[in-house]
Structure 1
Amino acid sequence: MCARWAPDPTTWLIPDVIAEGRSYALAGGAKAGKSLLMLDLLIRHRVRALYLDNEQTEDDLRTRVRAMGAGPDDLADLAYLLYPNLAPLDTAAGGQQLFALVDEYEPDLVVLDTVSRFVSGDENEAATYQAFYRHSLIHLKRAGVAVLRLDHLGKDVTKGQRGSSAKNDDVDCVWVLVEKKPGEAYTLRCERQRSGDHPHHIEIARHRHPLRHELTAEDGLQIDTYDPVLVVVADLDQLEVPTSWGRDKVRQAYAGKCRNEVLTEAIKRRRERGENTCPRPPGQVESPTPVPSPRDRSDITTGQTCPGQVGDRGIGVPQATCPPTSPPIGGDRSAGTGICTCSECQFPMTFESDITLGYHAGCAS
């Protein structure tokens, strides 16, 4: 008699959207908000993620993170690399470098934004994505690490992702983000999946103050709730309530209704944000020159440059106060994170380029 095999229940990193150990594609039109949606969901669901970004700017990220009201605790599990110095991932060298980062940061999910910028071959050729899978993705799949590839839709949106259809050969689920009302309402449509675990479509409402996305599955059940503390944080920011005020004084100035424990936590988060974060997003911008192995960053020099870095402002500029070692990408996940303070705005710095300058690049103007 043969024993009946029963699959393990699905473990979700983001309910109904991203499951543990699976491979995903998320396609959408230009400026539809794919990156914004995923950044919000990763932060609020505390997904241990390695986000590789070849699309956004430092200012984009700084603005988005602040709009979400995220503090140090919210960003602890996110390792974010802007313009990472990787060989193309459809080559053996790129695959080895990617897996070295995964080995270093031990994420549950790797995000590639946007996938076409991480390969050297023609995106219309099947061979490009076959090599991409062979050199990079198969290693992550064996390790049980989920992968999300952000992509653009083609000119004919009914045909899905731009480029070769081979892009879909190895993915477990293809999501398409459809904009229904610009900036407000979207549908996340499941184009194909290997299992029946994902809903066929998810309705998304984008809210402001703080920036967040509310997801509702096709059965009408809300699968993603917002944090009420972040709402109060955003309201207090808008009212410019001093972070030094106690709860009683804040309560007098704040007209919104909330429980005392929510207000207390909001006050705490605003103070922590002012003390421990900078108006820039988590992570560091990598140098355009070859970088050492992630396990040995001792030979990074102060001569590195990055996109948007400004020149020397001359002698006499106050020096930044820095610990012996600058914070790693995404923050230190085991011990406390050292903080370098900007000599201009006095906010802490987390980017290698800013630490080298002694002030935020944005403060140069």
Structure 2
Amino acid sequence: MTDLDNYYLSFLPKSTTAISSIGNEVPASMIYSYHNVMKGFAAILTASQVKEMEKKPGFVSAQKQSILSLQTTHSPSFLGLQPNMGLWKNSHYGKGVIIGVIDSGILPDHPSFSDVGMPPPPAKWKGVCEPNFKCNNKLIGARSFPQLDNNSQIDETRHGTHTASTAVGAFVKGANVYGNANGTAVGVAPLAHIAMYKLCNDGRCDESDILAAMDVAIDDGVDILSMSLGDEDLRPFHNDTVAIGAYRAMERGILVSCAAGNAGPSRSSVRNTAPWILTVGASTVDRKIKVTVKLGNREEFEGESIYSPKISILRFFTLFNAGKNCEPGSLTDPALRGKIVICQAGGGAPNVGKGQAVKDIGGVGMIVINKKEDGVTKSADVHVLPALDVSATDGSKILA
């Protein structure tokens, strides 16, 4: 323990208890001591204990922890990246670059993280792969926060695997989504190394863990920090832990790239806007997994879906407007059986869940009508029955 750690401990009460986030009484204790991203610490304290701490010499500020949320084969060619020429060739496909990803973990056996043709990590790399986890020359580091015996680096939600493969995925031939969109999947920097810092579980990313991961990643020697997470609320930069940690990383020559978020299109919906962060938003590509719905009056409307039935659906079925979001348990009318059910986007269920509700009641298909604010955006989901997603404009015509 360093002198700085002991100094931090001097701010904590000696023999009192605090209430944890799950409602249990636990000893007031330090969770993390930060050395790179800030001079400070994370601890479990009651409100009254914080007030006492504020009276001590050297105290600057304290804030309650917030919980942040987690926010293809064609993309590289869409971006104009071509093998053996241009930007990819000139940048050596990211060779020698270490990208640290702070997310929900990673699946080490995924083909995107094969180390075939990969050189060993650079000498500057000081990170580790925690015990019982399989790393290689591609996936060179894996840590979890907090470091508990049961907190494996394995990605249970697949979010971290998705974001990591987008950044550094190796060339994987024959990739497809249920037979759709066949091609070669590859990340933007296929020869870069990846280090995963897992701290998000069930979509929950604790601020104290984020700062701890950033603190360690700086010491480990990453060149880039990638974080696809964000707060629901906008906060001033001096109260934004990602912005604070990113500033310190920037001072060390590390590029911090963060997601702009999944909200919109209303005002102030972009997250991670600090000027020292590379804020990245999703965009539309020139490819769709198209599905067409044909009405009895011969009108046709284009939507999107990932559903690959073994037989072609060539007969007409009656449309039934459920007039609701089709949340699980909400569809009870026997008249829905044998019909294509029209559902509205939104509510408390994802589109796949709506499809399951329609299937459970005996519906044979589903049309999901998007919200007006979604514009022309449509979602290609892996449905459990024939279904498609259409725009609000087309949806109103179908209902007419």
What TM-score do the two structures reach when normalised by structure 2? 0.27
Tell me which of the two structures has the higher relative contact order, counting C-alpha pairs closer than 8 angstroms and 6 or more residues apart: 1
- Structure number with higher helix proportion: 1
Q: Select the structure of larger CA radius of gyration.
A: 2
What TM-score do the two structures reach when normalised by structure 1? 0.29
